[in-house]
Amino acid sequence: MVKICGIGAGYIGGPTMAVFALKCPSIEVAVVDISHSRISAWNSKKLPIYEPGLEEVVNQCRGKNLLFSTDVEKHVYEADIVFISVNTPTKTRGLGAGKAADLTYWESAARMIADVSKSNKIVVEKSTVPVRTAEAVEKILIHNSKGIKYQILSNPEFLSEGTAIQDLLNPDRVLIGGNQGPEGQEAIQKLKDIYAHWVPEDRIITTNLWSAELSKLADNAFLAQRISSINAMSALCEVTGAEVSQVSHALSKNTKIGPKFLNASVGFGGSCFQKDILNLVYICESNGLIEVANYWKGVIKVNDYQKSRFVNRVVTSMFNTVSGKKIAILGFAFKKNTSDTRKTPAIDVCKGLLGDNACLSIYDPQVTEDQIQEDLSLNKVELDHPIHLQPQPVSFTSLKQVNIVGDAYEATKDAHGICILTEWDEFKTIDYQRIFDNMQKPAFVFDGRNILNVDKMREIGFIVYSIGRPLDQWQKNMPQQA
């Protein structure tokens, strides 16, 4: 029996290893992490992350050929193939601070593998890493090998949170990069054989190590670029009277462009896009490619601009102040069908409104109160690090202007305005007439996800701002802040 060990029980490691176990019942799969609370959650009825279909997969395999454990060294020692899915946060200090990836946890994992291994292993990069990380891992392993042979593969994930299980069960491609010598090719084939249990051969792409590593960074950069591009257009639409959804539809019919990632919004979030682009910027700058670096910096600048533009629109629409006013925040996760809040635009929007002394009432169907508390108490870089290494959050009593509630009606009761920041389906179908009747007047809605029927909302009596749509007459008369 082949044994697989996945180091890191987060959004990548947990679902990926669970699907391996489901599709390869003859393979023993162990998911290990040094966080006892996280492993306990994986072994409980309440999993640590929300992902449609994940619970069913885990329940089907857990206790059979899938186990979750904090005994990291034991399972690495026993494994034939070790997948590394640890954090690669942005460095907070030193060379490359603010842009370069912090590979502390990667190096630690590599040294631990070298310390405990007594048999040959294939070591697979699963989380997103800078180009040539495999080279560093290989050097650590070889210089501590004690005669053991290692092959390093890059097998970046291309799953999207919210659809992760479907993406893993039916991937559009699987990418495996390895050394081009005979032993490297043999390792690639072993990993291909595992994926071949359920992935058609023509969807499994093999490359050299560096191409696989860079392909993942490029993939995220190109997707983020599309979002920033349509968001840049949304700002122009608002002042010209164009409708961004109509522009997006026209663009989507161009077969050279296609329909995906063309929805204007308050901005992109998630664990990867900003981090990977900053990493790409650092790599370009380190290699003297300043113009290329500046090009990719622009993608992040537009995303930051979109969030600040949204906050400015809220404040200026409401008589240039939200001080002491109750603002309902509907949605805190960075996208629907996930509980993940990493880099969610909601954090910046909420902090921007709190900076103007607003009182926030926040509701999200999947994000816990503790998570929202941490997100609004810690800085964004600290949150990239593993839970046990994060500083203790500021006591929630210091965030007296924030109230976390259990449903949309409670959040909006007596509110002056509503900000929709996640496109949860339930926000499309709630009773907005009931909500309007229980709000302060004039009642404002700021649709950061373009999920509402603006005409119907205006018929009810709301003053509506929807990203990329012609401005309400009210907002035309309210000058934007600089």
Catalytic residues: 272
The backbone torsions φ and ψ at residue 155, rounded to the nearest 5 degrees and listed phi first, read: -135, 70
Half-sphere exposure for 247 (CA within 13 Å, toward CB): 22
DSSP, res 60: H
The sign of the dihedral angle between the CA atoms of 396, 397, 401, 407 is positive
What are the Cα distances from residue 63, in Å, to 4, 26, 151, 169, 387? 15, 14, 30, 21, 26
Q: First vs last Cα of the chain: how many Å apart?
A: 64
DSSP 256-324: TT-STT----S---SSSHHHHHHHHHHHHHHTT-HHHHHHHHHHHHHHHHHHHHHHHHHHHHTTT--TT
345-348, long-range: CB < 8 A, 24+ apart: 345/265, 345/266, 345/267, 345/268, 345/269, 345/306, 345/307, 345/310, 345/421, 345/448, 346/269, 346/375, 346/421, 346/422, 347/375, 347/376, 347/380, 348/267, 348/304, 348/307, 348/308, 348/311
Does residue 265 contact residue 224 with C-beta atoms inside 8 Å? no
d(CA 49, CA 33) in angstroms, rounded, equals 15
Residue 269 burial (C-beta neighbours within 10 Å; 0-12, 13-18, 19+): buried
d(CA 336, CA 451) in angstroms, rounded, equals 12
Does residue 330 contact residue 420 with C-beta atoms inside 8 Å? yes
**376, two tokens:** 């609004």
Locus of tokens 């679902």 = 15
Does residue 27 contact residue 21 with C-beta atoms inside 8 Å? yes
Three-state DSSP state, 177: strand
